[in-house]
Amino acid sequence: MSTGTPADGVRLRVVSYNVHGQRDDAAALAAVVRTAEPDVVIVQEGARRFRWRQRNAALAASFGLVVAAGGLPSLGNVLLTSLRVRVLDTRCRRFPLTPGRHLRGAAFADCLVGGARFTLAGSHLSTDPAERPAQARALRQDLAGAAWPVIAGADVNEGPDGPAWATLAEGLTDTAVAMDRADRLTYSCADPRRRIDALFVDPRIAVLDYDVVDTPQTRRASDHFPILVDLRLPVTD
């Protein structure tokens, strides 16, 4: 990690990761994130039921981070930060429920790091293609209303050719495309065929590097590969 300077903006390392409900190799999962040394981790499929606060705190501690927002109120979306990042405000939302379907939601945190303010967001859209577009529109409206440049990680559950993905990407930078690495597949670890996980950022944020981390450890840690992105944020203070 590099803190950057006011002259060139503030650098931030971000991981967006569907952790599969921590049902796989917990030691490998912790090692993957610790090796990446992120400033923030956007988690999908974190704890959302029994003892969810303690379980998410334990996950964060295993990464060397703390919980900023999420859990049950955002239906398993969790935002984790290093102590370098100051969390100013948090909020969660739940998408309208379609009877008989899984609840979905999103978590948000307004943050400050080295003179740069930003809004961090994480979400996990439905596996049902009939539900995803409305969820994407609701999330995009939330992102459009953010006061600071947005960093949004999501398991979209569809590829870049889908309508929900297009809605989320509107007006934002797809970090994989920015680095000409849209061919890096994120799902599944057992048989990689699709890019369904994304990190979108405000155009004012520079994308310095992008990777989908495919190692023996990541293949044991979850059914999704983590996205690792280095950013440069504009100074806002």
Neighbours of 237 (CB within 10 A): 8
Tell me, yes or no, whether 5 lies in a domain. Answer: no
Tell me, yes or no, whether 1 lies in a domain. Answer: no
Q: Write the CATH number for 212.
A: 3.60.10.10
CA 182, 43, 139, 69 torsion: positive or negative?
Answer: negative
pLDDT tens digits along 48-74:
888 999 999 999 999 999 999 999 999
Residue-range definition of the domain harbouring residue 117 = 10-233
Tell me, yes or no, whether 4 lies in a domain. Answer: no
Tell me, yes or no, whether 66 lies in a domain. Answer: yes
pLDDT of residue 106: 97
Tell me, yes or no, whether 228 lies in a domain. Answer: yes
Tell me, yes or no, whether 83 lies in a domain. Answer: yes
Residue 9 CB contacts under 8 Å (≥ 6 apart), including other chains = 116, 206, 232, 233, 234, 235
Ranges under pLDDT 70 in the chain: 1-7, 97-102, 237
- Name the percent of the chain lying above pLDDT 90: 90
pLDDT tens digits along 26-38:
999 999 999 999 9
Bridge partners of 111, per DSSP, are 87, 118
pLDDT of residue 167: 98
Question: What whole-number distance in Å separates Cα of residue 76 and Cα of residue 70?
Answer: 7
Q: How many domains does the chain have?
A: 1
pLDDT of residue 3: 46
What tokens does 12 get? 């931030």
Tell me, yes or no, whether 97 lies in a domain. Answer: yes
> Model pTM?
0.95
Question: What whole-number distance in Å separates Cα of residue 133 and Cα of residue 54?
Answer: 33
* Of residues 99, 111, 140, the one with CA closest to residue 123: 140
Tell me, yes or no, whether 3 lies in a domain. Answer: no
